[in-house]
Structures are given as structure tokens and as C-alpha cells.
Amino acid sequence: MFEQTSEDQQVSYTDIESVKVSFDVAQCDGDSLYTYLPNWLNSLKDDELQSPPMSSHIFQKYIRQSHLETSMSNSIRKMALNEDRLFTIDDFEFGRPLGKGAFGIVYLARLKKTKFICALKILHKSKINEYSMAEQVKIETESGFKLNHPLILTMYDVFHDEKRFYFMLEYAPHGQLYRFLQKLRRFTNRLAASYIYQICHALEYCHSKSIIHRDLKPENILVDCCGNLKLADFGWSTKIRHADTMNTTACGTLDYLAPEIVGHKQYQYQIDNWCVGVLAYELLSGHAPFEGTDDETKIKIATINYIFPDYFSQLARKFIDNLLQKDPKKRISLLDCIAHDWLQKNAYKYMFGPYKCPIYVNMDE
């Protein structure tokens, strides 16, 4: 729903030990993101980088530990205000804009009292009413509070005034995954597999909470200070109330629409699985598999008409083919994706570095 602003200035941030780190996408000239990952990752030995990814059991253990170390959703208001009241806009000071959309804008923000950094997403009520989006705002709020996972952007709080809604969100310093894709043109086999591995875990968690994202794409995936992904923007998400409930609402981005949506048919969780296949193709090639005019794209999706570039590995092709199935029931599950040879043999084992403290940013840079 939100696009990153063109203002591509450098962001600097420090941890509680005042160790300054800089990041500038404009400096990116390699074929991987290693130059932007923390030193602990760069210092790993080659044999460690060649190791297969964590097993699902170990990864889930990491998730539980990371959640305990970083979760602030239940205490941030008390910590920031030291009194029993809701946030107001006067509790914040603002930095640069991070993104903008049809209904509002996202700013880098800081709590005046504690200097805690966050992203503040501001939606105009007049625009929401004009486009009849009140139900989606409600769903986004419900999803944000229900989801608590280290690979999903945290929603700390929501408040409003007479004219606006305010979503207080976790700040991801490295911005959209889309920016990296633009700079690098396409990802290496290993980097693409590593990020798809993370997205599969994030979506599997969403589905376990009965939530379908419905708008997976590089623009809605952010990168945190450790180089890990954060699934974001649940503005088009929906909750499945019952196991046999089917949806018919057409939404999402055309290049990522599943055949059942293009064909105006009922759908469920499997539309997210389809999007994982499209995302894997785009990360590896730099473009979506069904590109064309709107009508051409719809026809290509309906007929599953796509071609692999020569440089795609056989394992990557099989992975994508298993997801880009016209029949939703034939698409492999997200757990099967995680166990697939393409991810097991290529995703980086040590890409998951939880940080244990809030991030502090120099707002003047």
C-alpha cells in the first residue's frame, strides 16, 4: 500500500553501546548483500556459510527466544509514558518520510520521553472514508496485534485523533527489499533462497494464526538492521474465521495475482503460496514471471505461461514450478517449501541475527 519515498539519504543508527553503523544503498555495487550485513556474518568461515539452513525445529526455537528478547508490544506504552493513557501525536518528534501511499504517509519518528525509534504510519480518515477502506484498517489493526514474530514487522500500538489514524510500527533501517532488487538487478541463487526461506517461515506463522497476507511483493517486505526480512503491510490481509471459509475479494498486485483471483473464483491460503513462487522468480531474475500489459499478464497467469532464464538452477525451477500451479490444491505447502532441496541446500544458515535492544537513530542525518 505504501511506496518508499525517493529521498534516498543515508541513515545512521547506533545501539545502546553507541557503536555507529552506516548504510547507503547507493554504494551497493556487488552481487550480494554481504557488504551490508553485520561483521559477525562477514567473519564466518566459508564452511559455515556452505552449511544447510537451520532445521525447522532449531529455527522455531530461535523464534521463541528472539520473541522473548525483542517483544515490546505489551509494555512500550507503559515504558514510554509512565502513566495510564493512550499515545497522542504530541508524544512524538518526526524525522524524514519513509514512504507514502494513497491514504497517508509513513515517517521516521521518535518518542520524546524515551528517544525510542519507530515508524509512524499516518492514515487520513477522510481518504479512508472516501475509498470505503474502514474494514481494511480494522483488519490491519487486528492482524498487527495478533502477529508477533521476528520476521514480521511489529505493530507496537495504534491510536487516533479527529482526522487521522496512527500506526506505531517497528523501524526497519534498510528499507524495502525492492530497493535492493533494483540496485542488484537480480539476486544470487543463495541470497534468493535465504530470503524465500525467511518469507516461508513468516507466512507459515501468519497462516497458523488464520491470516492470509494477500499482497506479498518486494515492496511489502522490509530489511532490518541485521539483514533479515520483515514481512510488512497487512492492509490487504484477511482473517479466515473457519477452516472451510473461502474468499472472493479481488485484491493484491496484478503481477502477483493467483489464477483463482484472476478468474474471479473463491480462494484461501494457497494464494500466498502462489505469491512465494512469483517472488522467488522475481528475486532470481529481477522481473515477475508474467510481465506484460494488464491483459497480457492476466492471460499468462490464467494459462500458467512463463519461461525460465537459462541461469535458473534446476532446483529453483522445481521449487517455483511446484508453487505456480493453476490448481491451488496442487501447490506445495509452506512447510514443504521450507523442506525443499532448493532452500535446504542454498539458504544461509547464519542469516538470523536477533538484536536485543531498541535501535537508536541520529534524526539529524
Known catalytic residues? Answer: 215
CA distance 137 to 133: 6
DSSP helix/strand/coil, 157 = strand
Bridge partners (DSSP) listed for residue 97: 107
Q: Are 237 and 142 in contact (CB under 8 A)?
A: no
Strands 2-4 and 11-14: unpaired
CA 5 to chain centre: 17
φ/ψ (deg, to 5) at 96: -75, 155
* CA neighbor of 333 nearest in space, from 56, 53, 54, 51: 56
Report the distance separating Cα 203 and Cα 180, nearest Å: 21
> Which of 194, 326, 202, 197 has the alpha carbon at shortest distance from 257?
326
Half-sphere exposure of 152 (CA within 13 A, CB side): 28
Buried b or exposed e, range 160-185, using 16+ CB within 10 angstroms:
beeebbbbbbbbbbbbbbbbbbeebe
